[in-house]
Amino acid sequence: MAGRDYPRSYAELRAWFDEDWTCRDYLDWLRWPDGFVCPGCGSVRGWRLADARWKCGGCQRKVSATAGTIFDKTRTPLTVWFATAWRLVGDKVGLSATQLQREMELGSYPTAWAMLHRYRTVMVRPGRDRLSGDVEVDECFLGGPEPGVRGRGALGKVLLAGAVERTTGGQPRRARLAVIDDASADSLGDFLRDNVEPGSRILTDGWGSYPAATREGYTHKPTSVAASGLQAHEVLPAVHLVFSLVKRWVMGTLQGSISPEHVQSYCDEWVFRFNRRRSRSRGLLFHTLLRHAVAADPVTYKSLRKAGRWRPPPPPPDGERPWPSSLDVGRPRLPWRT
């Protein structure tokens, strides 16, 4: 709920998360919504220590909410990380590392650049649903000819595959983007299997690789642009819209200054925002991003249990006490705990 689970505005974000300990508590709450689970042994018994870490009742290890996540061992204050997350997903176009460095008054450009890249690594949720229904698929060169951009540069050699669900009216719904080596049937087939549910109808132009790429598991509807008498963006309106928006973002917000080897992570960032563009609240995107960020090893607990190595936890060790409930009443500053 807005105003309790996540801030409603940037002002509220700054008010809630003005000190590192409140940020840390929020991450703790996101990581263990149903109570502590040890990432090492899977034990569900733990005790809060005075420094906000947990002591595991199973393996005795001390665990912090940031252990094993993108925030692990960071020297940048969590307050800055939180404000950065908001700026990254709370705005339609995000921001560049240069802008971030200036806004947060960070000491160096590499610090800003590395923070943004760490967030990008958690923008793709493992096991996310694949696209389905009518899906337009096409490829383009990222640095392809665009008005006002001279030459192709290094990005001109980066080939992107795009898949976009479309409504009957030709409007885009969800999108996926991936850097591919070439436009062969193998590369495009791999892209489809990773991103589109079998049984979907794949809409493409007349490119010769698509019949083979879609043969297993998909229905294929090719439309030859030349024979149709239409423009390419009329044959495949949704995926062409996505390509042009991505190019505009790369050349505009990012000023074209991204290196080819990082294109995939920038695409992940763009897709994260695009697929949530109708979200009712920007704060919810902030909440989603941070939830992804602390779900560093969500399978550990289950896989350990499955492997039969899980044991009932022993009683609390001497000298360690659970967080007394009397302390909880004195924490009105943590709305997510209410």
54 vs 266, which CB is nearer to Zn ion? 54
30 neighbors 69 (Cβ within 8 angstroms): no
Minimal distance in Å, beta carbon 35 to Zn ion? 14
- CB 65 → Zn ion: shortest distance, Å? 15
By CB under 5 A, tell whether 15 contacts Zn ion.
Answer: no
The site string for Zn ion over 197-236 (x = CB under 5 A, - otherwise) reads ----------------------------------------
Q: Which of residues 59-78 bind Zn ion (CB under 5 A)?
A: 59
| 143 touching Zn ion, by CB under 5 A | no
Beta-strand relationship, 46-48 and 54-56:
antiparallel
Of the pair 58, 90, the CB lying nearest Zn ion is at 58
Counting residues that bind Zn ion (by CB under 5 A) gives: 7
Residues 6+ apart with CB under 8 A from 320: 47, 49, 55
Amino acid at 314: P
Q: In the complex with Zn ion, which residue's Cβ is closer, 58 or 283?
A: 58
Name the segment binding Zn ion (CB under 5 A); options: 35-43, 122-130, 207-215, 256-264. 35-43
Question: What's the closest the beta carbon of residue 40 comes to Zn ion, in angstroms?
Answer: 4
Residues 42-61 within binding reach of Zn ion (CB under 5 A): 43, 56, 58-59
Contact 12, 282 (CB under 8 A): no
Q: Are 3 and 281 in contact (CB under 8 A)?
A: no
Shortest Cβ 63–Zn ion spacing (Å): 7
**Which residues, other chains included, contact 219 with Cβ-Cβ below 8 Å and sequence gap of 6+?**
199, 200, 201, 202
**How far does Cα 152 stand from its chain's mean position?**
28
**41 interacts with Zn ion by CB under 5 A:** yes
Provide the total of helices (H) and of strands (E) in the chain, helices listed first.
14, 8
Rg (CA), the chain: 23
Q: How far is the CB of 299 from Zn ion (least distance, A)?
A: 16
Question: 142: Cβ–Cβ under 8 A, 6 or more apart, which residues?
Answer: 155, 156, 158, 159, 160, 246, 247, 250, 263
Task: Pick between residue 41 and residue 155 the one whose CB is nearest to Zn ion.
Answer: 41
Q: How far is CA 328 from the centre of its chain?
A: 33
In the complex, least distance from residue 68 CB atom to Zn ion, rounded to whole angstroms = 13
| Minimal distance, residue 309 CB to Zn ion, in Å | 11
Using the rule CB under 5 A, give the single segment among 39-47, 180-188, 277-285, 318-326 that binds Zn ion. 39-47
Which residue, 38 or 202, has its beta carbon nearer to Zn ion? 38
Find the part of the chain contacting Zn ion (CB under 5 A) among 37-45, 203-211, 230-238, 253-261. 37-45
Beta carbon nearer to Zn ion, 1 or 59: 59
Shortest Cβ 306–Zn ion spacing (Å): 17
Q: What stretches of the chain show up as alpha helix (H) in DSSP?
A: 10-16, 20-31, 78-89, 97-103, 109-121, 185-195, 210-213, 225-228, 232-235, 237-251, 263-274, 282-294, 300-306, 325-328
Residue in 40, 133, 256, 316 binding Zn ion, rule: CB under 5 A: 40
List residues near Zn ion by CB under 5 A: 38, 40-41, 43, 56, 58-59
